[in-house]
Amino acid sequence: MKNNTTIHTSKCSDSDSGYQVAGGYTIQPLTTCIDINTERRLIASWHTSGLSDVQIRKMLMLYFGEPAWMNLQKLYDCNRFSQIATGLRFRSRQEFVELLLRCAGFGFIWKNKEEPHTGKNLLAFYTPIWHVCDETDMVNEQDSGENLQDNLGYINNNIYIIRKIIKRKI
pLDDT at 12 over 80: no
pLDDT at 15 over 90: no
Phi, psi of 82 (to 5 degrees): -65, -40
Average of per-residue pLDDT across 25-39: 82
Short-list 29, 17, 47, 7, CA closest to 129: 29
41, containing H or E segment: helix 36-48
Domain boundaries, the chain: 19-151
Average of per-residue pLDDT across 97-102: 95
Question: What pTM did the predictor assign?
Answer: 0.65
The pLDDT score that the predictor gives to residue 167 is 54
Distance in angstroms (rounded) separating the CA atoms of residues 27 and 66? 11
Question: From the CA atom positions of the chain, what is the Rg in Å?
Answer: 18
**DSSP per-residue string spanning 75-127:** -EEGGGHHHHHHHTT-S-HHHHHHHHHH-SS-EEEES-TTS--SGGGEEEEE-
Percent of the chain with pLDDT over 90: 50
Quote the mean pLDDT of the chain: 76
Phi, psi of 154 (to 5 degrees): -85, 125
Distance in angstroms (rounded) separating the CA atoms of residues 20 and 18? 7
Instruction: Report CA-CA distances (Å) from 99 to 15, 18, 32, 118.
Output: 33, 29, 25, 11
Distance in angstroms (rounded) separating the CA atoms of residues 121 and 139? 14
